[in-house]
Amino acid sequence: MYLKKDSVVFIGIFVFLALIMPAMAGDISGTWIARTPNFNVTMVFKVEGTTLTGTVRTHPSDEAEIKDGKINGNKISFYIERMKHQKMVKVRFKGTIVGEEINLTRNENGTIGDIIAKRERSNSSKSNSSNSI
């Protein structure tokens, strides 16, 4: 049995893309901003291999460390812990990287919402906000 030249080329391209796409999608280190009607969320990501670290901030006094952060191809997940009504709550995030956007689902005690974060290109990473995540 032999493969046609077109099949070999197709298989070669497929293997190349399968190897390179996760590396391209995983390059999300830097500042990302999700703008909502009530507040902005600033996420500063650092990626090392498949580990995602950094911070999430809704205003200067409400910054939380990213915990259990993972990146696998174009998928990310992490959680933060923050005080709400004098109680520590866990807010989980899962998302998909699509070019210069990350489509995130946020889950706080069963309350689920979607946000879209965009890569911050300017030198300013300030976010004006009046509410917390």
Q: Is residue 11 part of a domain?
A: yes
For residue 41, pLDDT over 70 is answered with yes
Cβ–Cβ < 8 Å for 46, 54? yes
Close Cβ partners of 11 (under 8 Å, ≥ 6 residues apart): 3
- CATH code, domain carrying 96: 2.40.128
Q: Is residue 129 part of a domain?
A: no
> Does residue 131 lie in a domain region?
no
Q: For 11-20, write each residue's pLDDT tens digit.
A: 555 444 444 4
Q: What is the pLDDT of residues 68-101, one digit of tens each?
A: 999 999 999 999 999 888 999 999 999 999 999 9
Q: Is the pLDDT of residue 126 over 90?
A: no
State percent of the chain over pLDDT 70.
Answer: 71
Domain with 95, as residue range(s), is 5-119
Provide the whole-model pTM: 0.71
Mean pLDDT, the chain, as a whole number? 81
**Residue 127 included in any domain:** no
Task: Provide the pLDDT for residue 1.
Answer: 55
Number of domains composing the chain: 1
